[in-house]
Amino acid sequence: MPRHASLQGEELVAHVFVAASAPSWEVDRTWVLDLWHRCSDRFGLDAVAGHDRKPPDELTATAAPGGLLALRGGTGSGVHQVALRRLRDVVVLSVVRSPGAGQPEGWSELEAEWDAVLRPPTPGVVGEVRILQARLADPAARLDPAALGPVVEAAAGTPGEWARTGVLRDAVPLGPFAVWEVPDPAQTAWDTRAARRLIVVAPADGDDQLSAWTWSRGTPELTPLASYLLHAAKLRYELRVRAAAMVRDLRVSVDAEIGPLLRLTDEVATGRDPDVRALSAASARLVKLQAGDLGLANRSSRLREMRRTVEIAARNMAAYRGPEQPTGLIDDDAGLADWAARQLDNDVTYLEAALDRTRSVVALADQLVQRGLQDRRERFNLGLTGVVGAVLMVLAAMQSLKLEFTLPKPLLAGVVSGLGALALLVPALLVRLAAPDRRSSRAFVSVAVALLAGTLPWIVLSVRANAAGTAVATVPIVGWGVVVAAVAAGVTWLVLRPWSATAACSAEAG
């Protein structure tokens, strides 16, 4: 017995679109195959003559007409089928439930059974559309969306203003149809919704045309409405990706990092020496925002790709909707496509401006850091030149005055070793100053300090032995030398740690 006297042949057509090139493809592929098997089991579907019963596990592209990978159908009364297609970079699973005698006859029961086989979508699910369709019960009745509003509202079980927004699609060769889109209260983001719910009502004698528009034209290819909805789903998928990209948040983060860095550069403009550590740390944070998978450069290029995808989707939507003037949901989709294109253009412009600003500020900071390091090296070289000049002058004076110092051999060996360690420490400090972000330079200085400190017990014990007139004990010299050298190396390593912190920021940014 019909559920609603004004309607007959209440049916459900559903299409699920899954991106076959998404990073989550392995998870998405498993989700699609599981849905295929659940539909087959729950709806009692089996092989259809002339078609593959089981889709390939990898769901790879096929040369079969319409990209059809597999098809199953019901053996009882009514029409119950599930089809799986691969269309370039998208896998499409389609289901039709047209009950026969003794089977559930209302949209509510059909939707409940469809909900029972669905699972939460994986990241690559582009969209899901369910079409509740029927025909007028009275052959003489006029297809009037305004008059049918209360009827479809009751049949869908979802009250709301949407029932008064139906439009008449009167295009040829398919039509006329009365069409509504039913909002889902659970979806607050209307422009980026992943699931859509449509109602299509045809005249009493329009069953063949209705099927040819929503389900099948007797060929493996997708119907015009399904193809249109596929590209509309791609449009909204790109908008969801754009929302997840948080472009505005990235721009705010960039501006938040640029501010302190500019203040540091302003301090340099007043004549103060650049704070190399602060500049390096701030620059490293900006470089991190600029690079990486979520950085300015990558997101900017991704947005340009999205802009192109939206343009292609809009063009395909226009091709599949036919020559009629856009109305209703098709008009909404066309407006959304125009808005999305403008927003993506704006996003790209703002991100590229932020990227240019970041590059300029980072380049300025790098110049100031290099200037600061150069100033340090010059001051160090100046001091080193003075020390070396003083030593040379003393040695020259000693030679000219014929001054001689006689040291015991153990003490002389200790003094010479200490001078050698000091000579090694000088270039180690220069290397550290030139490359403060390298652990190797930190280790070089620590080793040089350890060697210099290790000679101190040698000199002290040699002096004591010489004053006491006793022989120098080798074991205490070696033991104390190792202990003092180890302590000196450890202390030096810890003292130089602040420079390594700057290095860590730079390494993380890289």
- The whole-number average pLDDT for the span 80-109 is 90
DSSP strand pairing (90-99 vs 7-19) = antiparallel
Exposure of 283 in the CB half-sphere (CA atoms within 13 A): 24
Please determine, for residue 399, whether its predicted confidence score (pLDDT) is greater than 80: no
Residue 394 covered by a domain:
no
Please determine, for residue 357, whether its predicted confidence score (pLDDT) is greater than 70: yes
Residue 312 covered by a domain:
yes
304 and 197 together in one domain: no
Report yes or no: 160 and 154 within 8 Å, Cβ to Cβ: no
Kindly report, residue by residue over 312-330, the tens digit of the pLDDT.
Answer: 999 999 988 877 667 788 8
CB count within 10 Å of CB 399 equals: 10
Q: What is the model's pLDDT at position 11?
A: 95
Burial class (CB in 10 A: 0-12, 13-18, 19+), 431: middle
Kindly report, residue by residue over 440-481, the tens digit of the pLDDT.
Answer: 888 888 888 888 888 888 778 778 777 777 777 777 778 888
173 and 98 together in one domain: yes
Report yes or no: 198 and 179 within 8 Å, Cβ to Cβ: yes
- The region of weakest confidence among 123-132, 358-367, 392-401, 450-459 is 358-367
- Structural domain count, the chain: 3
- The region of weakest confidence among 50-59, 224-233, 337-346, 464-473 is 464-473
- The region of weakest confidence among 302-311, 383-392, 473-482 is 383-392
Report yes or no: 105 and 99 within 8 Å, Cβ to Cβ: yes
Per-residue pLDDT band at 132 (split at 50, 70, 90): very high
Q: What is the model's pLDDT at position 505?
A: 39
Mean pLDDT over all residues of the chain?
Answer: 81
Q: What is the model's pLDDT at position 310?
A: 92
- The region of weakest confidence among 120-134, 194-208, 380-394, 485-499 is 380-394
Please determine, for residue 61, whether its predicted confidence score (pLDDT) is greater than 70: yes
Per-residue pLDDT band at 509 (split at 50, 70, 90): very low
- The region of weakest confidence among 7-16, 152-161, 271-280, 433-442 is 271-280
226 and 260 together in one domain: no
Residue 388 covered by a domain:
no
Burial class (CB in 10 A: 0-12, 13-18, 19+), 442: buried
461 versus 381: the higher-pLDDT residue is 461
Report yes or no: 12 and 45 within 8 Å, Cβ to Cβ: no
125 and 204 together in one domain: yes
Please determine, for residue 500, whether its predicted confidence score (pLDDT) is greater than 60: no
Q: What is the model's pLDDT at position 380?
A: 64
Its domain, for residue 345, covers 246-375
- The whole-number average pLDDT for the span 120-140 is 94
Choose the final residue of a domain: 337, 358, 375: 375
361 and 503 together in one domain: no
Q: What is the model's pLDDT at position 439?
A: 80
129 and 14 together in one domain: yes
Q: What is the model's pLDDT at position 256?
A: 65
**Residue 129 neighbours by CB under 8 Å, 6+ apart:** 14, 15, 16, 17, 195, 196, 197, 198, 226, 229, 233
Q: What is the model's pLDDT at position 503?
A: 41
Choose the final residue of a domain: 199, 234, 269: 234
Residue 400 covered by a domain:
no
Per-residue pLDDT band at 75 (split at 50, 70, 90): confident
Residue 1 covered by a domain:
no
Residue 83 covered by a domain:
yes
65 and 170 together in one domain: yes
- The region of weakest confidence among 1-5, 151-155, 474-478 is 1-5
Report yes or no: 367 and 351 within 8 Å, Cβ to Cβ: no
Please determine, for residue 33, whether its predicted confidence score (pLDDT) is greater than 80: yes
**Tokens in use for 37?**
């098997």
78 and 221 together in one domain: yes
Q: What is the model's pLDDT at position 364?
A: 65
Q: What is the model's pLDDT at position 508?
A: 38
* Long-range CB contact pairs, 375-380, < 8 A, 24+: 375/273, 376/276, 376/433, 377/430, 377/433, 377/434, 380/429, 380/430, 380/433
Please determine, for residue 87, whether its predicted confidence score (pLDDT) is greater than 70: yes
Q: What is the model's pLDDT at position 273?
A: 61
Which whole-number Å values give the CA distances from 384 to 390, 393, 451, 499, in the listed order? Answer: 10, 14, 20, 22
Residue 41's SS3 state is helix
- The whole-number average pLDDT for the span 274-295 is 61
Residue 399 covered by a domain:
no
Choose the final residue of a domain: 353, 375, 397: 375
43 versus 347: the higher-pLDDT residue is 43
Report yes or no: 96 and 215 within 8 Å, Cβ to Cβ: yes
229 and 256 together in one domain: no
Residue listed under structure tokens 């979520």: 294
Residue 145's SS3 state is helix
- The whole-number average pLDDT for the span 392-417 is 71
Per-residue pLDDT band at 506 (split at 50, 70, 90): very low
DSSP strand pairing (167-169 vs 177-181) = antiparallel
61 and 100 together in one domain: yes
350 and 446 together in one domain: no
Residue 104 covered by a domain:
yes
90 and 215 together in one domain: yes
Q: What is the model's pLDDT at position 400?
A: 80
